[in-house]
Amino acid sequence: MSSYTQKDYEQFCDEVWEHNRLYFQENRPRISDDEYDRLLKKVEHIEKLHPEWVSQTSPTQRIGEKPFEGFKEVTHDAPMLSLEKAFTKDDVENFCNRMKKLLETKTIAYCAELKMDGLAISCHFKNGRYVRAVTRGDGKVGSDVTQNMKTLQNFPLRLFGDDIPDEFEVRGEVFIPKKAFERMNEERQVEGLPLWANPRNAAAGSLKLLDPKEVAKRIDLSCVFYGIPHYTKQFKHQYALEEYLSMIGLPTVETFLKQSKMHAIEPVVKLHTPQEILEFAENVQKNRELLPFAIDGIVIKLDDLEAYDRIGTTGKHPRGAIALKFSAEQAWTKMKDIVIQVGRTGVITPVAELEPVNLAGSTISRATLHNFDELKRKDFRVGDVVCIEKGGDVIPKVVACDPEKRNKSSHPYEIPKVCPSCHTKLIKDPEEVALRCPNKEGCFDQILHRLIHFASKNGLDIEHLGVKVMEALVKKGFVKRFSDIFSLTKEQVEKLEGFKEKSTNNLLKSIEDAKKTTLSRFIMALGIRYIGVQTAELLANKAQNLKSLESFTEDQLLSIEGVGNKVAHSVYEYFHDPKELEEINRLVKNGLVIETKKVAHNVDHPFYGKTIVLTGTLESMGRTKAKELIQELGGHPSESVSKNTDFVVVGTEAGSKLEKAKKFGVKILDEKEFLQIMQQ
Residues in the site for ligand IVH, rule: CB under 6 A?
Answer: 81-83, 113, 115-116, 120, 136, 173, 226-227, 299, 318, 323
Nearest-approach distance from CB 75 to ligand IVH, in angstroms: 17
Measured CA to CA in angstroms, residue 123 lies from 228, 305, 528 at distances of 10, 20, 38
Nearest-approach distance from CB 30 to ligand IVH, in angstroms: 22
Selected catalytic residue, list 41, 89, 115, 509:
115
Residue with Cβ nearer ligand IVH (314 or 409): 314
Nearest-approach distance from CB 159 to ligand IVH, in angstroms: 20
Residue with Cβ nearer ligand IVH (82 or 518): 82
DSSP letter for 392, please: T
Residues 114 and 325 sit within 8 Å (Cβ to Cβ): no
Residue with Cβ nearer ligand IVH (111 or 367): 111
Residue with Cβ nearer ligand IVH (245 or 546): 245
Q: For 478, what's the count of Cα atoms within 13 Å in the CB-facing half-sphere?
A: 18
Measured CA to CA in angstroms, residue 20 lies from 13, 23, 37, 57 at distances of 11, 5, 11, 13
Listed residue (284, 277, 296, 334) closest to 201, CA to CA:
296
444/423 Cα distance (integer angstroms) = 10
Q: For 472, what's the count of Cα atoms within 13 Å in the CB-facing half-sphere?
A: 14
| 105-109: long-range pairs with CB below 8 Å, 24+ | 107/272, 108/272, 108/302, 108/304, 109/237, 109/239, 109/270, 109/271, 109/272, 109/302, 109/303, 109/304
Is 469 in a helix, a strand, or coil? helix
Cα dihedral value 383, 387, 389, 391, nearest 10 = -70
Residue with Cβ nearer ligand IVH (187 or 303): 303
Residues for the chain: how many in total?
Answer: 680
131/167 Cα distance (integer angstroms) = 10
Nearest-approach distance from CB 288 to ligand IVH, in angstroms: 14
Residue with Cβ nearer ligand IVH (115 or 344): 115
Distance, C-alpha 105 to centroid of its chain: 42
Listed residue (580, 626, 593) closest to 482, CA to CA:
580
Nearest-approach distance from CB 265 to ligand IVH, in angstroms: 13
Residue with Cβ nearer ligand IVH (136 or 529): 136
Residue with Cβ nearer ligand IVH (184 or 323): 323
The burial of 418, by beta-carbon neighbours within 10 Å (0-12 exposed, 13-18 middle, 19 or more buried), is given as exposed
Listed residue (594, 528, 593, 606) closest to 567, CA to CA:
528
533/467 Cα distance (integer angstroms) = 20
83 Cβ neighbours under 8 A, 6+ residues apart: 299, 317, 318, 321, 322, 323
Residues 44 and 317 sit within 8 Å (Cβ to Cβ): no
The stretches of 427-481 forming alpha helices (DSSP H) are 444-455, 467-475
Distance between first and last Cα of the chain:
84
DSSP letter for 481, please: S
Residue with Cβ nearer ligand IVH (307 or 630): 307
Nearest-approach distance from CB 315 to ligand IVH, in angstroms: 12
Residue with Cβ nearer ligand IVH (82 or 283): 82
**What is the three-state SS of 41-69?**
HHHHHHHHHCHHHCCCCCCCCCCCCCCCC
418/71 Cα distance (integer angstroms) = 43
Nearest-approach distance from CB 150 to ligand IVH, in angstroms: 20
Listed residue (216, 184, 218) closest to 199, CA to CA:
184
Residue with Cβ nearer ligand IVH (255 or 520): 255
Residue with Cβ nearer ligand IVH (115 or 390): 115
Nearest-approach distance from CB 41 to ligand IVH, in angstroms: 14
Nearest-approach distance from CB 165 to ligand IVH, in angstroms: 19
Residue with Cβ nearer ligand IVH (23 or 647): 23
Residue facing ligand IVH at closest CB distance: 120
Nearest-approach distance from CB 138 to ligand IVH, in angstroms: 12
The residues with which 594 forms a beta bridge, in sequence order, are: 517
Residues 117 and 296 sit within 8 Å (Cβ to Cβ): yes
Nearest-approach distance from CB 639 to ligand IVH, in angstroms: 22
Nearest-approach distance from CB 169 to ligand IVH, in angstroms: 13
Q: How many CB atoms lie within 10 A of CB 351?
A: 16
Nearest-approach distance from CB 273 to ligand IVH, in angstroms: 20
The residues with which 173 forms a beta bridge, in sequence order, are: 120, 224
563/542 Cα distance (integer angstroms) = 11
Listed residue (381, 350, 351) closest to 367, CA to CA:
351
> For the chain, what is the total number of helices (H) and then of strands (E)?
26, 24
> Could you confirm whether 115 is annotated as catalytic?
yes
Distance, C-alpha 261 to centroid of its chain: 17
- Name the residues annotated as catalytic: 115
